[in-house]
Structure 1
Amino acid sequence: MHVGGTQGHQPESRPASSPLCRGAEQRQFSIQLPGICTFADAVDFLVNGRPQALEKIENQMSLTASRPKMVSRTHGVVATAYLSLFMVSADNSIINTAVPRISASLGAGTPDVQFAIDAYMLVFASSLIIAGSVVDRVGARRSYAVGISVFTAASLLGAFVPSVSALVLSRAGMGIGAAFIVPSIFKLFAQELTDSGRRRVLALWPAVVGLGVAVGPVLGGLLLTRFRYGSIFLINVPVGVIALLGTATLIRRRDPEPITRRPDPVGAVLLLIGVAVFASAIIFAVDDRLPGWLRFGLGAVGLLTLIGYTVHERRTDRPLFDLGYFRARTFTGAVVAMSGLFFALFGTVFLAGQFTQYGLGWSPLQAGAGLLPLAVGLTVASLSCVAVTARIGAKATVATGLGLGALGCALCAMAAADLRYPLLAAGLLCCGLGMGLSVGPALTLIVTSLRPADAGVGSSVNAMFQQIWGAGGVAVMGLVFSAGYGTRIESGPDLPASARSVSEGYDLLAHGSGQAATWFADSVSSGLVAAWITGAAVASVALIAVLVILPATTSTSATPSSRKVNA
């Protein structure tokens, strides 16, 4: 080895541009061995036989060389996950535009088809925490593949069902598949992304969900102009195949993180029954075919079962979900915000379809296109929510979004007063902006509040509340709409009893002229105004709760038992 060579001898050192040897040190020490750039490296070579600097630089070069591949794979994972999330979200609303076609094809009444719509959300909500627990135990990759497979198979069944009962079963199967897909996505993001990357990716979550909910009716309307109603389910099949291919080629096999708690079958059964019965009570609240005492009894049984689940979880040493998370104001405040937002959003999407089809006489395709302002607001706000949160903080961003959601519902109510679409579009835009601003920061608060081992079941709790409150928005706001319409239509001129139903009243009265048609329009308007006022009230209550519960500065401590900040 030659250190500090003479003028007459030019050692075979690497050029200064070499990634192994950069800086002024190379000009001071001419080294014949690659990677030895300083005197300290030479000493290290003599002592250890290999310079540590060379090893570090080679590791860095290896990391740099592999980075484009990693970025490409990670982008593929995110794209695959969000494609499936779009599919899951679109199935919440794509069926809304097909209600008349399904009723005619299967010979089913509107309440029966409405139950098929709600069966998806009902099974989705009641299965989420159990599915999330399975995700934590068996891993995100396998759970995601199972969820996609079940969802795709159920969609294929739904495209060719011979009866409304079979349609309900297929929708329930889609709900089971979706219950595995959503927590698996959260788990994948927790595994594949850094904290900063996760914040950026989760900021797109509301845009994907909202676009699915908003674009679903448009897509459904396009399909129904050319194909039978089964096409709205058949379109899920190629999406599912793409997601499965992405799972096989992009998502790495990982051993699930060790779970110290044992399974909790008692808690799982109590939760499944409680959520299913309570959500059924919410859904059947709009069904006048059931006596009032039965609907009230369903709600009471569901609530008591959920109370029993809570008592059991507090006493057992192996809870299905650590209820200590709810003692953290960050987690609870974010869940409350998401619940209020989804109540208003799902209810608004449902009512907007009634507004445009029954109030304005639009076709399903036109009605779906009428929701585009909601999608625009969601996209714009989702792309800017990270910057807004960095500037004003998570609490202020979430609260602003809830305020915009309440304002949007109020504008929709004003639009319904005289059935004006431009004002409805402004209300939908406000709802989209509110959703896009709030959901990303709220999701980040929830995910960062969870231990890595609880990412699946913890995110399932949040998704469960979203689905229950989303179903509640459709059911409660739909109930208020039906009640307002019915009260108004009954006080009018002598009309057939069948006009008490909005869909049948539309067929009987809306295409006519004179007093009956005017009274029908006034009745639709009356019901819509009352329903959207209800949505604005719920969003306002959620806003007040968030202002009280959510701390100004948030903690991301991941151990419920040790949380002292925000508790």
Structure 2
Amino acid sequence: MTSPAAPVERRVPEAIHRRRWAILGVLMLSLLIVVLDNSILNVAIKTISTPAPTGLGATQSELEWAINSYTLVFAGLLFTAGLLGDRLGRKKTLLAGLLVFGVGSALAAESGSPVQLIAFRAVMGLGAAFVMPATLAILMNVFEREEQPKAIGIWAGSVGLAIAIGPITGGVLLDHFWWGSVFLINVPIVVIALGLMLWLVPDSRDPNPGHVDPVGVVLSVVGLVLLVYGIIKGGQLADFTDLTVLATIAAGVAVLVFFVVYEKRSDHPSIDVTYFKNKVFSAAITAIALVFFALMGVTFFSVFYTQSVRGYTPLQTGLLMLPLAAAQMIFAPRARLLVDRFGNKATTTAGMVLVAAMLAAFATLEADTPIWFLEVMFFLMGTGMAHIMTPTSVVIMQALPREKAGSASALSNTFRQVGGALGIAVLGSVLSTAYRNGIQDKLGPLPADVRHTAGESIEATLGVAAKLGPNGKALVGPANDAFLHAMHTTALWGTGVALLGTLVVALYLPGKQQPAHRTEQGETEETELVSAEK
């Protein structure tokens, strides 16, 4: 006679375990709107750079700040937001973050100047900082350990979904409404997410949370802002030897160094630097930062290539980016299968090599390159990204104790956002400097007060050309040629960064691990599910 099977020991209460996939769906919706905002903005930056009433007449440096004001606030507060979630409850901080993000979106939609847009984007970044770490921390507390890699893969796939629908949604909105609609669309999504969150998602917290570190937060944000400002200013002036540029960059680096020293000596640091003694953890974090450095910079200039050089509409540009997102949606949930077969090192290294190769391919694009070639590039780049993000996310989240899930998520996303912000700043400045050097000889006939502005970006040059009427047509060809040369130069810089990331993961990520029988029986359950149903 066969004895009845022993009941499965679960860390997660049964009532929550039954609805874990519905909870994952709500968490994905919350994450989706945070990522959606940047992917929508990507197709709108050309429109925003157009003079009023069509856009705001933002310069390239103002566009970079419109993206980076969000990113820097987001990155600077992520770790503190994770700690507050651990302390106050992840559901509460997630709800508060969604509300702030929605308000910031509504204000951004009504911006009357580039400066206002930059400020309201910072408000959106404040809200997003509380959304991102809470989603992954809640996920880690509603799924058993054996299901976590699968859930993380699906969660990461929502990033691909946002990248897919963001540019298309932005293109549709810009075809029918004003530029501010790309921010206003966030508001109804936030309302839906708030309602579902209140209904389905349990709260959780760390019974032994870390202390909030306001000094560390201020130091990190100030240091990053100074560093990014100096880099963007250098690109705007096309002169990195300018004393103001050098002084600002040096000040940013000095503040960040002081931040690291302060964190090492603090008894309640924002970032526990001891985590980075683990080479595997450090390599995974570095890979995320470097790949987003390259990706965000390339995404920034690819929009100007498709719209300004190739003449595609925002909607067509969104559709052109669809293969990038489709590849992530297809392969992100399945990347764990390759990890199981070949290991983290081989899977992630192959992904990095593929991303580097596609970045290098941007250096071959011309004004008449068949568009299918760009589509293949985007698809392969998305494939590489999927095989980087899923393995590294699993490595990072499982490297720390379960009750520190908020901290692990915050660290991962902090380095992702910092990498992206520096990518836009550095590669955007490379693009701006190379473009100005390529076009300045053609701007001699223009008045002196117009010449500097016209040389900042291809949109600035084309804007001046449009005002000159028939006399300005002679500037269009040189502007396109100068941009293509600048894009090629920038793509090669991005390729070098991706290759550096390849070297890091090849050296330090673990190879294929032998299957091990694990049990969680007898572990102390430290995470309290506040809203668990009895």
Q: What is the TM-score with the length of structure 1 in the denominator?
A: 0.81
Name the amino acid aligned to 1:338. I
Please state how far the C-alpha of 1:309 moved relative to its aligned partner.
1.8
Distance between the aligned counterparts of 1:376 and 1:83, measured in 2? 17
Distance between the aligned counterparts of 1:214 and 1:297, measured in 2? 40
Q: 1:95 aligns with which of 34, 41, 46?
A: 41
How is 1:380-419 mapped onto 2 (pairs within 5 angstroms)? 380-416=330-366, 419=369
Matched-pair contact (CA < 8 Å) for 1:417–1:526: no
Give the greater-gyration-radius structure (CA).
1
Q: Alpha-carbon deviations, 1:329-380, whole Å to 9, x = none?
A: 1110101111121112212221210110111011111112111121122122
Query: Which residue number in structure 1 is paired with residue 230 of structure 2?
Result: 281
Distance between the aligned counterparts of 1:554 and 1:473, measured in 2? 33
SS of aligned partner of 1:204: helix
Name the amino acid aligned to 2:136. F
For structure 1, which segment, 450-459 or 505-514, has the greater mean C-alpha deviation from structure 2 after superposition? 505-514
1:168 maps onto 2:134 in alignment: no
1:333 maps onto 2:333 in alignment: no
For structure 1, which segment, 268-277 or 473-482, has the greater mean C-alpha deviation from structure 2 after superposition? 268-277
Distance between the aligned counterparts of 1:220 and 1:455, measured in 2? 33
Query: Which residue number in structure 1 is paired with residue 492 of structure 2?
Result: 533
Please state how far the C-alpha of 1:417 moved relative to its aligned partner.
7.5
Cα distance change, pair 210–413 in 1 and its aligned pair in 2 (3 A): farther
Matched-pair contact (CA < 8 Å) for 2:206–2:404: no
Please state how far the C-alpha of 1:422 moved relative to its aligned partner.
2.5
How is 1:5-404 mapped onto 2 (pairs within 5 angstroms)? 23=1, 70=16, 73-103=19-49, 104-105=52-53, 107-110=56-59, 111-254=61-204, 256-259=205-208, 261-288=210-237, 292-404=242-354
For structure 1, which segment, 69-78 or 540-549, has the greater mean C-alpha deviation from structure 2 after superposition? 69-78
Query: Which residue number in structure 2 is paired with residue 549 of structure 1?
Result: 508
Please state how far the C-alpha of 1:482 moved relative to its aligned partner.
2.0
Please state how far the C-alpha of 1:266 moved relative to its aligned partner.
3.1
Name the amino acid aligned to 1:523. A
SS of aligned partner of 1:318: coil
1:444 maps onto 2:394 in alignment: yes
Q: Alpha-carbon deviations, 1:209-235, whole Å to 9, x = none?
A: 244235322211110111112211111
Q: Alpha-carbon deviations, 1:187-223, whole Å to 9, x = none?
A: 1011111122210121134432244235322211110
SS of aligned partner of 1:361: coil
Distance between the aligned counterparts of 2:512 and 2:139, measured in 1? 24
Q: Alpha-carbon deviations, 1:17-71, whole Å to 9, x = none?
A: xxxxxx579xxxxxxxxxxxxxxxxxxxxxxxxxxx9xx98x78x99xx96x645
Percent of residue pairs bearing the same amino acid type: 31
Distance between the aligned counterparts of 1:377 and 1:304, measured in 2? 40
Matched pairs, number: 500
Long gaps (5+) in structure 2 = 519-534
Matched-pair contact (CA < 8 Å) for 1:206–1:435: no
Matched-pair contact (CA < 8 Å) for 2:434–2:485: yes
Q: 1:524 aligns with which of 463, 483, 489?
A: 483
Distance between the aligned counterparts of 2:2 and 2:336, measured in 1? 41
Matched-pair contact (CA < 8 Å) for 2:75–2:129: yes
Please state how far the C-alpha of 1:285 moved relative to its aligned partner.
4.1
Cα distance change, pair 437–117 in 1 and its aligned pair in 2 (3 A): same
Distance between the aligned counterparts of 2:298 and 2:243, measured in 1? 28
Please state how far the C-alpha of 1:423 moved relative to its aligned partner.
2.2
Distance between the aligned counterparts of 1:296 and 1:214, measured in 2? 39
Cα distance change, pair 214–204 in 1 and its aligned pair in 2 (3 A): same
Long gaps (5+) in structure 1 = 1-22, 26-52, 558-567
Please state how far the C-alpha of 1:298 moved relative to its aligned partner.
2.4
Cα distance change, pair 475–276 in 1 and its aligned pair in 2 (3 A): closer
Q: Alpha-carbon deviations, 1:216-273, whole Å to 9, x = none?
A: 222111101111122111111111111111221111133x222264443433332332
1:502 maps onto 2:458 in alignment: yes
Matched-pair contact (CA < 8 Å) for 1:349–1:371: no
Matched-pair contact (CA < 8 Å) for 2:83–2:210: no
Distance between the aligned counterparts of 2:58 and 2:310, measured in 1? 22
Name the amino acid aligned to 1:473. G
For structure 1, which segment, 110-119 or 548-557, has the greater mean C-alpha deviation from structure 2 after superposition? 548-557
How is 1:426-445 mapped onto 2 (pairs within 5 angstroms)? 426-445=376-395
Q: 1:473 aligns with which of 419, 423, 433?
A: 423
- The structure with higher relative contact order (CA 8 Å, sep 6+) is 2
